[in-house]
Amino acid sequence: LSLRLAGCLIGALIGTAALVYVVPSIDSVGGLLMLVFAGTWVAAWVAQGSPRISYAGFQIAFAFYLCVIQGAGPGYDLTIARDRTIGIVIGNLVTFLVFTRIWPVSISGRIEAALHDMVRQWRQLIATPRREAQRQNAAAALALHGAITQDLILARYEPALVGPGTDWIEARQRHLATLDAVAGPLFLLAERFPGDPEVDRRLQAVRMDGHAPVTSAAPLSPQHSPRDALLALVDRHLAAPRQDDPPAAATGSPLHA
């Protein structure tokens, strides 16, 4: 709602200024097209920004077009611009009320589905012995990681009546951080030991709160096999994941993956 209203007011302000200072000097459709191009360029620049501001660019363009384009040629009626802007504001308020009171929709459902899909991609990666399929599953999991990260940022902007609470968001962030921390060891294990049931058991153990009921790994010695070292590294991340930890806190093991 903030992006829509802010974009509407900015677009209406630019459009009204253009009606007062620019349109009176335009005497052809070509000049009107150049004015529309300038307004579109500004709106597109905002729309190509971060997801936290990009939607305002579409609202800027919408309000600007409704103010400036009043017919087949240049128009100067400020009343039309005023009425159309009021209509946009009312429409945005009605949309806000519908999706927060009558038909609330939260981004949390998409986050939950993406997290489950991410775990499924890792399980498929572990189960398949084919290198090409492993890399495809890893690429899909990494793409989901980026999408989930963005959605968790956007979830904090949802109204309290619709969106999840802070505890829910932080729990999913811990879960995502755990999956991110074990991604490297899991990929190495999948390549060197495909179909290992111990790897799948550890991945299934990851709960939504970001913790897993696994036994903490004992200190490693140089006699341990690479498989044991990678499993121990996964266990460390699953046993005590914290979002503010360094990405590879392996307690100084000589067999760090």
CB within 8 Å of 162: residues ≥ 6 apart: 99, 100, 104, 105, 106
For residue 194, the model assigns a pLDDT of 76
pLDDT band at 11 (very low <50, low <70, confident <90, very high): very high
For residue 116, the model assigns a pLDDT of 87
Query: Any idea where the domains of the chain sit in the sequence?
Result: 2-102, 108-239
For residue 193, the model assigns a pLDDT of 77
For the ranges 43-47, 80-84, 130-134, 182-186, the maximum mean pLDDT occurs at 43-47
Res 6 pLDDT > 70: yes
**The one-letter amino acid at 199:** V
| pLDDT tens per residue, range 29-87 | 888 889 999 999 999 999 998 877 898 999 999 999 998 888 776 677 888 888 999 99
Q: How many helices (H) and strands (E) does the chain have?
A: 9, 0
- Secondary structure of 54-81 as H, E, C letters: HHHHHHHHHHHHHHHCCCCCCCCCHHHH
Tokens read off for 121: 């991609």
Q: What percentage of the chain carries pLDDT values higher than 90? A: 19
Res 251 pLDDT > 60: no
Q: What is the mean pLDDT of the chain?
A: 79
Q: String of b and e for 127-145 (b: at least 16 CB within 10 Å)?
A: bbeeeeebeebbebbeebb
For residue 214, the model assigns a pLDDT of 46
Res 213 pLDDT > 50: no
Contact 56, 10 (CB under 8 A): yes
Determine the Cα–Cα distance for residues 205 and 178; give it in Å rounded to an integer.
11
**Average confidence (pLDDT) over 121-125:** 81
For residue 73, the model assigns a pLDDT of 67
For residue 246, the model assigns a pLDDT of 42
Determine the Cα–Cα distance for residues 242 and 236; give it in Å rounded to an integer.
11
Determine the Cα–Cα distance for residues 89 and 11; give it in Å rounded to an integer.
12
| pLDDT tens per residue, range 93-109 | 998 888 888 888 888 88
Please tell me which residue, 125 or 116, carries the higher pLDDT value: 116
Query: Any idea which of 107-111, 204-208, 248-252 has the lowest mean pLDDT?
Result: 248-252
Determine the Cα–Cα distance for residues 173 and 187; give it in Å rounded to an integer.
21
Determine the Cα–Cα distance for residues 156 and 162; give it in Å rounded to an integer.
11
Determine the Cα–Cα distance for residues 202 and 211; give it in Å rounded to an integer.
11
For residue 205, the model assigns a pLDDT of 67
Q: What is the DSSP letter of 28?
A: S
